[in-house]
Structure 1
Amino acid sequence: MIVTNANTVPAIATASGTQIRVLLDTTGEGQGRMSLAMETLKPGQQVAPHWHTHLEEIYYILKGQGRMEIGDEAREVGIGDVILIPVNETHCLYNTGDDDLVLLCTVSPPWYPEDSHPVEEGER
């Protein structure tokens, strides 16, 4: 049995300035099928536009509000929203509220840095 607690997992600062806690990563457990992280965006912060060649993601908004962009689509998101991010789709999330935006992010296969491709200015 694998159990972790979000309050005991150290936060890591991302290149965008957000805070992420890797809650579970099954890579080392012989499974290798998914990972789960919790990310916090302060007011005005964003998950910078990027895409993945092999990774599919699901975001679940726990707290706050923001604007989610996937490909050419955009919409406001908030508490309780679940967002599917398909492989090869450029995506970004902006905290548009006055409070922290907190989300869970499930990734399959497990996230690895080599498959995060930033979008350069003018590419969007």
Structure 2
Amino acid sequence: MHLGNHADAEPFTTLDGSTIRELAGPVSLPTANQSLAEATIPVGGATTAHRHHVTEELYYVTHGRGRMRIEDEERDVRVGDCVVIPPGAAHKLTNTGDEELAILCCCAPPYADADTELLEDAAA
């Protein structure tokens, strides 16, 4: 059995600029086909627009609120919302609230910087 705890997960920053605590995957617990991480975005912050050519992602909002853009479509997201991001789809998440935005992000196959293509400057 492999067991991890959020409190033990070391935060790191991904290419898209979000702070990640991987709960299962290559950095933490061994997984074969997916990864699970908590990502946080500070008030007024946003991820850098990007796409993953191979990876499908699920974003599940656990705290705060934001604005999700996938390709040309934008929607407000809040606690309890789950967003499906298909492989190859350009996407960006912006914190539009007055508190930290937190999501659980499930990636299949597991998240990898090598599968991440940035679509704007990190400062954008």
TM-score, with normalisation over the residues of structure 1?
Answer: 0.89
1:27-106 equivalent positions in 2, closer than 5 A: 29=30, 31-106=31-106
Q: CA deviation at 1:18?
A: 3.1
**CA separation of 1:87/1:75 partners in 2, compared to 1, >3 Å: closer, same or farther?**
same
- Which consecutive aligned stretches of 4+ in structure 1 deviate over 6 angstroms post-superposition? none
* Deviation larger for 7-16 or 88-97: 7-16
Q: CA deviation at 1:14?
A: 3.8
Q: CA deviation at 1:46?
A: 0.7
* Aligned AA (1:35): S
Q: Residue 7 of structure 2 aligns with which residue? A: 7
* Aligned AA (1:87): P
1:117 aligned onto 2:105: no
Q: Is the 8 A contact 1:16 1:45 kept in 2?
A: no
Residues of 2 paired with 1:26 and 1:90: CA distance? Answer: 24
* Deviation larger for 71-80 or 2-11: 2-11
Q: CA deviation at 1:16?
A: 5.3
* Deviation larger for 106-115 or 7-16: 7-16
Query: In the TM superposition, what whole-angstrom CA distance separates every residue of 1:75-118 from its partner, at most 9, and x where no partner exists?
Result: 10000000000011000000000000000000000111110000
Structure 1 segments unaligned to the other structure (5+ residues): none
* Aligned AA (1:24): A
Q: Percent identity?
A: 37
TM-score, with normalisation over the residues of structure 2?
Answer: 0.89
Structure 2 segments unaligned to the other structure (5+ residues): none
Q: Is the 8 A contact 1:26 1:35 kept in 2?
A: yes
Query: In the TM superposition, what whole-angstrom CA distance separates every residue of 1:17-67 from its partner, at most 9, and x where no partner exists?
Result: 5321111006984x5200001011110111110001100000000000000
The SS at the match of 2:8 is coil
Residues of 1 paired with 2:74 and 2:112: CA distance? Answer: 26
Number of aligned positions between the proteins: 120
